[in-house]
Amino acid sequence: MAAYTPMMMQYLQIKADYQDAFLFFRLGDFYEMFFEDAIKASQELEITLTSRDGGGTERIPMCGVPYHSAQGYIEQLIQKGYKVAICEQTEDPKAAKGVVRREVVQLITPGTVMEGRGLNDKENNFIASVSAFKGGTYGFACSDLSTGESRVTLLAGNFDDVLNELSLSGSKEVVLDSSTPDELQKKLTERSVLAISYEDNTEVNEAYTNLLEGLDEEAAKLSAARLFNYLHRTQKRNLDHLQPVTFYEIQQFMKIDFFSKRNLELTETIRSTAKKGSLLWLLDETKTAMGGRMLKQWINRPLINVQGIRQRQEVVELFISHFFERHEIREKLKEVYDLERLAGRVAFGNVNARDLVQLKKSLMQVPVLKETLNSIEAEAAARLAEKLDPCEEVTDLLEQALVESPPISVKEGNIIRDGYDGQLDQYRDASRNGKTWIASLERQEREKTGIKSLKIGYNRVFGYYIEVTKANLHLLQEGQYERKQTLSNAERFITPELKEKEDLILQAEEKIVELEYEIFVNIRETVKEFIPRLQALSKAVSELDVLTSFAELSEQRHYVKPAFTEERKILLKDGRHPVVEKVMSAQEYVPNDCYMDSERELLLITGPNMSGKSTYMRQIALTAIMAQIGCFVPASEAVLPVFDQVFTRIGAADDLISGQSTFMVEMLEANNAIANATESSLILFDEIGRGTSTYDGMALAQAIIEYIHDKIGAKTLFSTHYHELTALDQELGKLKNIHVSAIEQNGKVVFLHKIKEGAADKSYGIHVAQLAELPAELIGRAAEILEALENKDKTDTASGMPSSQMASLGGRRTGGQAGSFKEGLAGPVSMPTPVKEVEPLLQQTVEKSEEEAQLSFFEEVPSVKSSSASKKEKRVLDKLNELDILDMTPLQAMNMLYELQRKLRN
Ligand SMILES: Nc1ncnc2c1ncn2[C@@H]1O[C@H](COP(=O)(O)OP(=O)(O)OP(=O)(O)O)[C@@H](O)[C@H]1O
């Protein structure tokens, strides 16, 4: 290796310990980066790459950012998922012999950000640890360093549960044992952009022993200890604000798996992953950042304990009936800052005087909140009031000590009030007296010399001086003034007396600044002792915030309090999809009822495209979730069971990025539901089977329905375009058909969005295509093909060919009879008992033709059997040619490519 300079050797030595981070190496007023770090950082941060001589044969790539503006650059790197090690000079350069000692003082990572853009007010910033134990148990711990909250759980054997917990907590970083197998690491990073870190030490650090005291299980302790050890090692300080770790079991909450959370758009929309348009967006009427975070946690983990839900409902109801008190409370909540994160920064040592003034102002709202709650005179309100601890000692201290508007910096004085500290007052007197003396000296000198324009000024170089314009110089007495500086139009002088006072003033000011900082640190340390109380207060305020916002929303949007039943019954009158309703205004939205009980476990929903099938299904799930977080629900009457889990298969072909075909994802999601659902679960399956050929799809759909009906008994809503399946109600006692109605008016389809009993009688696929403004010529052609298909079907049926008129694909399996799917296809129809004799036939042909009509974009339809391979290719090429690629998103383009390829291979 080349002989580098001692400083570069020091750099390389430190860098060796931080291979996976950018090393910000402090050199004077800059943080410098070298070698690979410099090349990469210059690209990521768009800063100039230079080079320097480091003693070796070649120049070393280098780039740097100024110390005072480093924060922004660090945030940029963290947001991109990188880690940054801050390496400071840890001894006074003047005192150093040789190279100044330098050490990494903090490793900032995506999961350990404490301030700045990396933190979203209304979102937690969790870092998790995953530990594998013998017997297949996983320990999952997570901590939000900015708020200090931590929790841990043990997950038996199922790695999907680990992935779910990671996604529910929204963790940005995961800490693993370095021996974690690669395949698990790959799985962890597949679903989201996670920073991975390692910590092998699981010994409980003394500083955190008390935080782990409540944990009975050794594995839980070790998992949390791994996380704390990592935090301690990277942050290099005691983290006094960390709260005791709570142990939870995933069975304590309604389980909503990763897919369902996404499909139901609980906290973000599928398309843009934005909050706007999600359930969280609708429900978030909170006034504080902490309340916003609590709401998100509640949505991610609805309760299954009826008692807990009813307690929340009781408070919501109370606030609905106490409008003025609610209004008063919400006004006051606006004044409450983020107590939890303030407390975190107090412990971390990066809080400033302004933050503490905000803390004081927040705490001053607490007595008013308590008073308002107590004025309601209800037990539930009194319970909430009880939990609000105003921490008067902190308010008093901050009120007495801090001025109203201190500066941002804590090292420049002007923070502490007069009268708070005797010594400080003395210094201030000295400084003020000196300044008064100087002001009177100016008066005296003017009188003495008769120079009206004489003035006393101050600058950093010469200190105080007497300034006289050149025209008046002759009026000064010789020998009394020492000339210090000549300007173009004036001269500046000093006198021994002036310098003496100046020394006094400057010394006093220096002492003031030092002492103010010292006092500030003492105050901060005192506030630190109140952190647990502040954190408890923060929880109570958050709860009050969320519950009043539920009340606000429930009243505004005419939601109703759901009753819970143990009868596994759903009764919703005038139910609405809360988000769609908000977007389209209540007048336009068509409310729908839903009734399910032990005789009506599965609802098979048919109806045209665009009629509102998915909206209806989603609204049932969202209503259940809203009910179980304690909110009222969008209906005029609601009775619900407590669901243990919600499963969904709804959604678009948006999974190409994860490398799985749409159909495969569909099957994985279906399997997840089938493997885990119980009779207390809710399943929503939207057009299962549509991703494969008609017969395959229909067969799978039927088999899935039968399986749920016979073996699971979960409340299930299943929408389908396979009208043949509607005949299943003859066989499956607990399956009922419902449909979304539509009518035809002047050749155009009109969606009524109204759910009705029974199966739909028509598909309207071509009508929908017409609404989408496909070319008239094409629509005409589709109608022609449809007719041809219908006729063909009729002929086939008449000639005894296997027909699509059969009620379902395979005879239903009962006992030992194996009425297999194949038999159903090849032999005579095994279960041909459609409800209506003629209609199902029509339904089938319309349905089939709709699908074929869609295919006709690309290939010849079966009725016009001239399809040659070259013609098919030509159609694909034509389609390619027509595409306006610049107008497509990458995902749309990928989907289209996938589709085209599928057409070619078909
Ligand atoms: N109850 C309703 N009242 C008013 N408008 C509704 C209602 N339900 C759905 N809609 C509107 O109809 C649109 C289509 O609904 P949705 O996606 O649920 O239809 P779908 O039947 O599932 O369609 P597809 O079969 O094509 O997937 C919605 O975006 C919404 O604007």
- How much distance in Å is there from the Cα of 585 to the middle of ligand 1? 15
Q: Which residues pair with 64 in a beta bridge?
A: 32
In eight-state DSSP terms, residue 266 is S
Q: What is the pLDDT of residue 896?
A: 82
Domain 422-524 has CATH 1.10.390.10: no
- d(CA 371, ligand 1 centre) in Å: 47
Q: Is 613 marked within a binding site? A: yes
**How far is Cα 858 from Cα 436, in angstroms, rounded to an integer?**
92
Probe residue for ligand 1, chosen from 264, 605, 610 as the CB with the greatest number of ligand atoms within 8 Å: 610
Alpha helix (H) ranges present in 178-217?
Answer: 182-190
855 is written with which tokens?
């295919």
Does ligand 1 come within 6 angstroms of the Cβ of 763? no
219-234: pLDDT as tens digits: 999 999 999 999 999 9
Q: Is 608 a known ligand-binding residue? A: yes
Taking the C-alpha atoms of residue 387 and residue 375, their distance in angstroms, rounded to an integer, is 15
pLDDT at 831 over 70: no
Establish whether residue 606 lines the binding site of ligand 1, counting it when its CB lies within 6 angstroms of any ligand atom: no
Q: For residue 654, is pLDDT > 90?
A: no
Closest of 873, 880, 863 to residue 906, by C-alpha = 873
* 173 or 887, which is more confident: 173
Ligand 1 centre and the CA of 611: distance in Å? 5
Q: Is 613 in the pocket of ligand 1 (CB under 6 A)?
A: yes
pLDDT at 724 over 90: no
| Confidence at residue 825, expressed as pLDDT on a 0 to 100 scale | 28
Phi-psi region of 668 (alpha: psi -120 to 50; beta: other; left: phi over 0): alpha
753: left (phi over 0), alpha (psi -120 to 50) or beta: left
- Which atom of ligand 1 approaches the CA of 577 most closely? 1
CA–CA gap between residue 592 and residue 619 (Å, rounded)? 10
Judged against a pLDDT cut of 70, whether residue 853 lies above it is answered with: no
Which of 55-59, 247-251, 737-741, 887-891 is predicted with the least confidence, judged by mean pLDDT?
A: 887-891
Instruction: Decide: helix, strand or coil at residue 606.
Output: strand
Contact present, 254 and 556 (Cβ < 8 Å): no
* Cβ 609 under 6 angstroms from ligand 1: yes
Helical axes 496-528 vs 422-449, angle rounded to 10°? 160
Q: Over 60: is that where the pLDDT of 702 sits?
A: yes
What pLDDT does residue 840 have? 28
138 lines ligand 1 (CB under 6 A): no
With beta carbons less than 8 A apart as the criterion, state whether 594 and 641 touch: no
pLDDT > 90? residue 74: yes
DSSP state of 712: I
Taking the CA of residue 721 as reference, the ligand 1 atom at the shortest distance is: 25
CA distance 165 to 647: 16
- pLDDT grade for 906, boundaries at 50, 70 and 90: low
User: From the CA of 629, how far away is ligand 1's center (Å)?
Assistant: 26
Atom 23 of ligand 1 has which residue's CA nearest to it? 610
Of 837 and 336, the structure prediction assigns the larger pLDDT to: 336
Is 894 a residue whose pLDDT tops 70?
A: yes
Cβ of residue 769 lying under 6 Å from some atom of ligand 1: no
Could you tell me which residue, 262 or 884, shows the higher pLDDT?
Answer: 262
Q: Taking 70 as the threshold, does the pLDDT of residue 623 lie above it?
A: yes
Give distance in angstroms: CA of 613 to centre of ligand 1. 6
Candidate from 771-780, 805-814, 889-898 with smallest mean pLDDT: 805-814
Sorting pLDDT into bands at 50, 70 and 90, what band is 807? very low
Q: Is residue 148 within 8 Å of 240, Cβ to Cβ?
A: no
**Helices within 334-391 (DSSP H only):** 339-348, 353-375, 379-387
Residue 823: what pLDDT? 32
Most confident of 506-510, 571-575, 749-753: 571-575
Q: What is the mean pLDDT of residues 322-341?
A: 95
- One-letter amino acid identity for 639? V
Of the candidate ranges 24-28, 367-371, 415-419, 695-699, the one whose mean pLDDT is the lowest: 695-699
Q: Which atom of ligand 1 is nearest to the CA of 611?
A: 21
Q: What is residue 857's predicted lDDT score, i.e. its pLDDT?
A: 28
CA distances from 326 to 140, 370, 661 (A): 39, 12, 50
717 lines ligand 1 (CB under 6 A): no
Residue with more model confidence, 589 or 885: 589
Ligand 1 pocket, 494 CB below 6 A?
Answer: no
Alpha-carbon span 246 to 251, nearest angstrom: 15
Least confident of 48-52, 89-93, 549-553, 654-658: 654-658
- What mean pLDDT do residues 242-258 have? 91
> Residue 650: pLDDT band by 50, 70, 90 thresholds?
confident
**Centroid of ligand 1 to alpha carbon of 608 (angstroms):** 10
Best mean pLDDT range from 258-262, 351-355, 499-503, 629-633: 629-633
Q: In this structure, which long-range contacts are made by residues 887-890, counting pairs with CB atoms below 8 Å and at least 24 apart in sequence?
A: none
Q: Are 456 and 464 in contact (CB under 8 A)?
A: yes
Among 263, 579, 580, 606, which residue has the most ligand 1 atoms within 8 Å of its CB, making it the best to mutate? 580
Ligand 1 proximity of 753 Cβ (cutoff 6 Å): yes
Query: pLDDT at position 121, please?
Result: 82
Maximum alpha-carbon separation in the chain:
132
| DSSP states of 71-140 | HHHHHHHHHTT--EEEEEE-S-TTT-SSSPPEEEEEEE-TTS--SSTT--TTS--EEEEEEE-GGGEEEE
Nearest alpha carbon, ligand 1 atom 15: 612
In the β-sheet with 463-469, what is the strand arrangement from edge to edge? 455-459, 463-469, 490-494, 482-486
**How far apart (Å, rounded) are the C-alpha atoms in residues 247 and 14?**
38
pLDDT above 90 for 347: no
Q: Is 610 annotated as a binding residue?
A: yes
Give the pLDDT band of residue 793 (cuts 50, 70, 90): low
Q: What is the pLDDT of residue 661?
A: 65
Read off the pLDDT of each residue in 765-771 and give the average, rounded to a whole number. Answer: 73
In Å, what is the CA distance from 110 to each residue of 31, 36, 128, 173, 387? 20, 21, 11, 6, 33
Q: Give me the pLDDT at residue 804, please.
A: 41
What was the pLDDT predicted at 651? 64
Task: Kindly state the tokens that stand for 404.
Answer: 């109203």
What pLDDT is stored for residue 860 in this prediction? Answer: 33
CA distance 173 to 230: 12
Band of residue 869 on the pLDDT scale cut at 50, 70, 90: low
- Does residue 800 contact residue 832 with C-beta atoms inside 8 Å? no
For residue 768, the ligand 1 atom closest to its alpha carbon is: 26
> Closest Cα to atom 4, ligand 1: which residue?
589
Segment (H or E) for 457: strand 455-459
- CATH 1.10.1420.10 is right for the domain spanning 284-391+530-556: yes
CA proximity to 150, closest of 217, 205, 221:
221
For ligand 1, whether the C-beta of 589 sits within 6 Å is yes
Check whether 841 has a pLDDT greater than 50: no
The whole-number pLDDT of residue 187 equals 84
The residue nearest atom 14 of ligand 1, judged by CA position, is 610
Measured from the Cα of 591, ligand 1's closest atom is: 1
Rounded to the nearest 10 degrees, the angle between the axes of helix 379-387 and helix 531-556 is: 140
Please give the span between the terminal C-alpha atoms of the chain, in angstroms, as a whole number. 60
Checking if the pLDDT of 555 tops 80, the result is yes
Query: Which ligand 1 atom is nearest residue 592's CA?
Result: 1
Cβ of residue 612 lying under 6 Å from some atom of ligand 1: yes
Residue 495 phi/psi, 5-degree rounding, is -130, 155
In this structure, which residue's CA is closest to atom 24 in ligand 1? 609
Which band of pLDDT confidence, cut at 50, 70 and 90, is reported for residue 578?
very high
Q: What is the pLDDT of residue 820?
A: 33
Classified as helix, coil or strand, 142 is strand
- Which residues lie closer than 8 Å to 893 by C-beta, 6 or more apart? 885
CA of 593 to the centre of ligand 1 (A): 15
Report the pLDDT value the prediction gives residue 367, as an integer from 0 to 100.
97
Indicate which residue's Cα is closest to atom 5 of ligand 1.
589
Confidence of residue 879 (pLDDT cuts 50, 70, 90): confident
Q: Is the CB of 614 under 6 A from ligand 1?
A: yes
Q: What is the assigned CATH class of domain 126-252?
A: alpha beta
| R_g of the chain, CA atoms, integer Å | 36
* CATH level 3 topology of 6-108: MutS, DNA mismatch repair protein, domain I (3.40.1170)
Q: What is the pLDDT of residue 42?
A: 93
User: What's the chain's average pLDDT?
Assistant: 85
Is residue 447 pLDDT above 80, yes or no? yes
pLDDT value at position 772?
A: 75
Ligand 1 mutation pick, 611, 721, 750, max ligand atoms within 8 A of CB: 611
Cα 734 to Cα 740: distance, rounded to the nearest angstrom: 20
Could you give phi then psi for residue 31, rounded to 5 degrees?
-100, 120
Determine whether the shortest distance from the Cβ of 576 to ligand 1 is under 6 A: no
CA dist., res. 765 & res. 473, Å (int): 100
Cα–ligand 1 centroid distance for 903 (angstroms): 28
Any atom of ligand 1 within 6 Å of the Cβ of 224 = no
| pLDDT exceeds 70 at position 192 | no
Cα–Cα distances (Å) from 501 to 354, 463, 511, 673, in that order, read: 33, 11, 15, 83
Strand partners, 602: 716, 735
Give the separation between CA 657 and CA 465, rounded to whole angstroms. Answer: 72
Q: In what order do the strands lie in the sheet with 592-596?
A: 563-564, 637-640, 570-575, 592-596
| Cβ atoms within 10 Å of 643's Cβ, excluding its own | 24
Is 611 labeled as ligand-binding?
A: yes
Q: Whose CA is nearest to atom 18 of ligand 1?
A: 612
Spacing, Cα 580 to ligand 1 middle (Å): 9
615 lines ligand 1 (CB under 6 A): yes
pLDDT band at 324; cut points 50, 70, 90? very high
Q: How confident is the model at residue 870 (pLDDT cuts 50, 70, 90)?
A: confident
Flag whether pLDDT at 838 surpasses 50: no
Q: What is the pLDDT of residue 477?
A: 85
29-43, 619-633, 789-803: lowest mean pLDDT where? 789-803
733 carries a ligand binding annotation? no
Instruction: Judge whether 606 and 723 are in contact, CB under 8 Å.
Output: yes
CB 160 within 8 A of CB 130: no
- 796 alpha-carbon distance from chain centroid: 56
Average pLDDT score over residue span 824-830: 28
Q: What is residue 708's three-state secondary structure? A: helix
Residue 637 is predicted with a pLDDT of 97
pLDDT at 266 over 50: yes
Give the CATH fold of the 563-856 domain.
Rossmann fold (3.40.50)
User: 689 near 697, Cβ under 8 Å?
Assistant: yes
- Rounded distance from Cα 614 to ligand 1 centre (Å): 7
Taking alpha carbons only, the member of 694, 700, 722, 720 closest to residue 906 is 694
Apex CA 623: angle with CA 621 and CA 627, to 5°?
120
**Comparing 628-642, 730-744, 758-772, which segment has the lowest mean pLDDT?**
758-772
The pTM of the full predicted model, rounded to 2 decimals, is 0.79
pLDDT of residue 810: 54
Q: What percent of the chain has pLDDT over 90?
A: 53
Cα 612 to averaged position of ligand 1 atoms, centre (Å): 3
| Cα angle, residue 156 at apex, residues 150 and 157 outer, rounded to 5° | 120
Q: Whose CA is nearest to atom 26 of ligand 1?
A: 609
CA–CA distance, 743 with 532 (Å, rounded to integer): 63
Residue 7: its pLDDT value, please? 92
Residue closest to 366 by CA, chosen among 340, 388, 342, 396: 388
- Give yes or no for residue 39 CB within 6 A of ligand 1: no
* CA of residue 550 relative to chain centroid, distance: 20
pLDDT tens column, 593-613: 999 999 999 999 998 888 899
